[in-house]
A and B are shown apart, each in its own frame.
Chain A
């Protein structure tokens, strides 16, 4: 009886250990958050910038690290140093916009002046509100 308990405990420990190892080194190495799978906060780019300009810390509490769905007008499309597409979405202030880096090349390349809707994670506010891992979606 005692042997059985010790054996099952050992087995349990082994399974837990293997599970932890798998989660830390295999699962986490290959799985990242995706804005496509998360519930988003829907907001217009102009509104997002205005809120950040008015109160940065309150906006961080609301939006930092959250998945956002942002709509607005594209003012600039560029590439970053790794070749990823960056999209700047206009606000009412020419010096502060929403700056987004796309996760992967989008099927339809965003064009300057067109309306865009994208999902991504808010990382905070520099001169622009910054969004990472963005994906272009239909509204």
Chain B
């Protein structure tokens, strides 16, 4: 009898505390700051984790992992704008505010909102971004598209002329 109650208690506590951490090391984040010329880059080495029941999430990436079609543009991006030797990383730490609306056991695309702090070039800023969580047979994908004002994070004389004032950031991360 004792064993019976003990096992019931254990089952209940497991179901209460059961939480899953989803992670990836090959998340994809790209940006587009094109004005007069194409300024686009993609990073396929994004490290990201999130917890399904709390909605806590983190994305971290290395600036030097961004790849441009044009090698010279990549050098300028790293040296003149991001100073990626001094600030090698960027990250976002925050929460999905409406995580309760996502049913991780049912396939579908759920609209979500992320609130948190984005740190680029050593500058931290609070942001909110709308996005989606797609559940497909246990596989979870987070997608979002948001804009940042470049002058909030970096300086440079070309911003506003050859480089757009705002960069569109696209997140597309498939989790295991």
B26 on interface, CB distance cutoff 8 Å: yes
Interface residue tally on A, bucketed by range: 20 to 34
A80 on interface, CB distance cutoff 8 Å: yes
B7 on interface, CB distance cutoff 8 Å: no
Enumerate chain A residues within 8 angstroms of B174, measured Cβ to Cβ. Answer: 81
Enumerate chain A residues within 8 angstroms of B26, measured Cβ to Cβ. Answer: 78-81, 86, 101
State whether A84 and B44 are in contact (beta carbons under 8 Å apart), knowing that A64-B64, A124-B62 are contacts in the complex. yes
Enumerate chain A residues within 8 angstroms of B61, measured Cβ to Cβ. Answer: 126
Segment with Cβ contacts to B, from A2-10, A29-37, A43-51: A29-37
Interface residue ranges of A1-58 to B (CB < 8 Å): 23-25, 28-29, 31-33
User: How many residues does chain B have at the interface if contact means C-beta atoms less than 8 Å apart?
Assistant: 26
State whether A81 and B89 are in contact (beta carbons under 8 Å apart), knowing that A28-B71, A123-B64, A126-B60 are contacts in the complex. no
B172 on interface, CB distance cutoff 8 Å: yes
B71 engages A33 (CB within 8 Å): yes
Enumerate chain A residues within 8 angstroms of B67, measured Cβ to Cβ. Answer: 132
B147 on interface, CB distance cutoff 8 Å: no
Enumerate chain B residues within 8 angstroms of A123, measured Cβ to Cβ. Answer: 45, 62-65, 88
Q: Give bound CA distance, A101 to B42, whole Å.
A: 14
A23 engages B72 (CB within 8 Å): yes
Q: Give bound CA distance, A130 to B65, whole Å.
A: 8
B85 engages A130 (CB within 8 Å): no
Q: Interface of B with A (CB < 8 Å)?
A: 25-28, 44-45, 47, 60-65, 67, 69-74, 78, 85, 88-89, 172, 174
Q: Interface of A with B (CB < 8 Å)?
A: 23-25, 28-29, 31-33, 60, 64-65, 78-82, 84, 86, 99, 101, 121, 123-128, 130, 132
